[in-house]
Chain A
Amino acid sequence: MEETEGGLQFHPMEQFTLKPLFGGDTIHWYTPTNATLWMAIAALVILFLLVIGTARRAIVPSRSQSIGELAYGFVHTMVEDVTGREGLRYFPYIMTLFMFIVVANFLGMIPTSFSATSQFAVTIPLALMVFFAVTLLGFYKHGIGFLKLFWVSQAPLILRPVLAVIEVISYFVRPVSHSIRLAGNIMAGHAVIEVFATFGGVALIAPVSLIGIVAMFGMDVLVSFVQAYVFTILTCVYLKDALHPGH
């Protein structure tokens, strides 16, 4: 703390700490926290974008209505293109996932906010929900035939057991990569911005760190959307596997 260099306190991960909203130290499962606040704001933003914005039901849409329609059309075509027409039954679930993730990501870009999607405790349940829903749906639709997903019928017979083992492993790795990818991307971007911001405390490096923050921020805005898109389209791909397990 004596020298300027040594005085820099790096706490890039502190922004991800859960804090109770109304004081106190203990966090029970029901305690309203900063995460609660920002998830509630996310729900409100979704309400404003998709419900209040479309309230006028205009034939020629206003700006906010356009955003709602754009989001709707974006996810709708994605579901239809990847899973086919019968996948549209599950469109509301996928739309819920997409809207929550994309809004939470963008809200996380607001300085001093809390990004819910940087928490493994958030992304792992999201991924596990998709994993279990898709697996159960697959068995419900095709019974034992769902296991054909792991039996690559085009491959030579000798290779098929080996491929089946690989397929099973990759199937169970899905929720892991699905959740870590989202949380990792969001967390890394925010942590790097925090590190740049800490370097801003040194007058000499401050301009560089400012440029760095601006550049990282721009990239993180892109990442926020792309990661929401990736999460959603992977969900669609998994859903397609459940609906059409044959290779």
Chain B
Amino acid sequence: MAEHSTEAAGMPQLDFSAYPNLIFWLLVTLVIVYLILTRLALPRIASVLSERQGTITSDLAAAEELKEKAKEAEAAYDQALADARAQAQEIVARTKAGIQKELDEAVQKADAEIAARTAESEKAIAEIRRSAMDSVKDVANDVAGEIVSALGTRADAKAIKAAVAAQLKGLG
């Protein structure tokens, strides 16, 4: 008993009789662990890791590609927008020009009509004036003849007419 207790108080690690057993089972365990690792674990983990790396790389490439595509689409959209704007501007300009032309034509036509009407009116006025002048002349002849006869002298109708015409000439 005493012998046992001193043995327990010492280091069991230095009990060399246990060494062959420990070394044998250690080697068995190491070989098993080595086989587990090289046959199963390490190839699998390596393939998982490289697969993940591959997935990440290809995903990044795909993302890059999509970004490129999005940029292209944006450029196309911008282009379409610019085209539409230019087209709209062109249409506006064309329409404006058309309207202007029509307007000009109408104005011209109206001007021509106005001019024609004015000429017509002027002609009518001139006619009226002339007829009025004639009437005035007649009246003046008559009045002058009456005045002359009232004064007691006989006057030649021709002479009176000439005299009145001479007087009226100044009035035009």
Same complex = yes
Interface size on B, residues (CB 8 A): 40
Expressed in whole angstroms, the Cα–Cα distance for A154 and B51 within the complex equals: 46
* Nearest-CB residue, chain A, relative to B36: A47
Expressed in whole angstroms, the Cα–Cα distance for A44 and B25 within the complex equals: 14
Instruction: Please state if A187 and B30 are interface contacts (CB–CB under 8 Å).
Output: no
Instruction: Please state if B41 and A43 are interface contacts (CB–CB under 8 Å).
Output: no
Could you mark each residue 98-120 of chain A with 1 if its beta carbon is under 8 Å from any beta carbon of chain B, else 0? 01100000000000000010111
* Nearest-CB residue, chain A, relative to B9: A13
B153 is an interface residue with CB less than 8 A from chain A: no
B29-68 interface with A by 8 A CB criterion: 29-30, 32-34, 36-38, 40-42, 44-49, 51-52, 55
Instruction: Please state if B34 and A93 are interface contacts (CB–CB under 8 Å).
Output: yes
* Nearest-CB residue, chain A, relative to B45: A72
A14 interface neighbour in B8, B23, B46, Cβ under 8 Å: B8
Instruction: Please state if B12 and A18 are interface contacts (CB–CB under 8 Å).
Output: yes
Could you mark each residue 25-60 of chain A with 1 if its beta carbon is under 8 Å from any beta carbon of chain B, else 0? 001111111011001101100110011001001110
Expressed in whole angstroms, the Cα–Cα distance for A115 and B11 within the complex equals: 14
Tell me the smallest distance from the CB of A128 to a CB of chain B, in Å.
10
List of A residues within 8 angstroms of B25 by Cβ: 32-33, 35-36, 39
List of A residues within 8 angstroms of B40 by Cβ: 50-51
Instruction: Please state if A18 and B21 are interface contacts (CB–CB under 8 Å).
Output: yes
A161 is an interface residue with CB less than 8 A from chain B: no
* Nearest-CB residue, chain B, relative to A36: B25
* Nearest-CB residue, chain A, relative to B34: A96
Known: A18-B21, A40-B29. A11 touches B41 (CB 8 A): no
B22 is an interface residue with CB less than 8 A from chain A: yes
B170 is an interface residue with CB less than 8 A from chain A: no
Instruction: Please state if B27 and A29 are interface contacts (CB–CB under 8 Å).
Output: no
Instruction: Please state if B21 and A92 are interface contacts (CB–CB under 8 Å).
Output: no
A54 interface neighbour in B11, B22, B34, B41, Cβ under 8 Å: B41
Expressed in whole angstroms, the Cα–Cα distance for A118 and B21 within the complex equals: 15
**A residues in contact (CB < 8 Å) with B:** 10-11, 13-14, 16-18, 27-33, 35-36, 39-40, 42-43, 46-47, 50-51, 54, 57-59, 61, 65, 68-69, 72-73, 91-93, 95-96, 99-100, 116, 118-122, 125-126, 183, 187
Instruction: List 27 A–B pairs whose Cβ atoms lie within 8 Å, in order of A's numbering.
Output: A11-B8, A13-B8, A18-B12, A29-B20, A29-B21, A29-B23, A35-B21, A39-B26, A43-B29, A46-B36, A50-B36, A50-B40, A51-B41, A59-B48, A59-B55, A69-B48, A72-B45, A92-B34, A92-B42, A93-B34, A100-B30, A116-B22, A118-B13, A120-B13, A121-B19, A121-B22, A122-B22
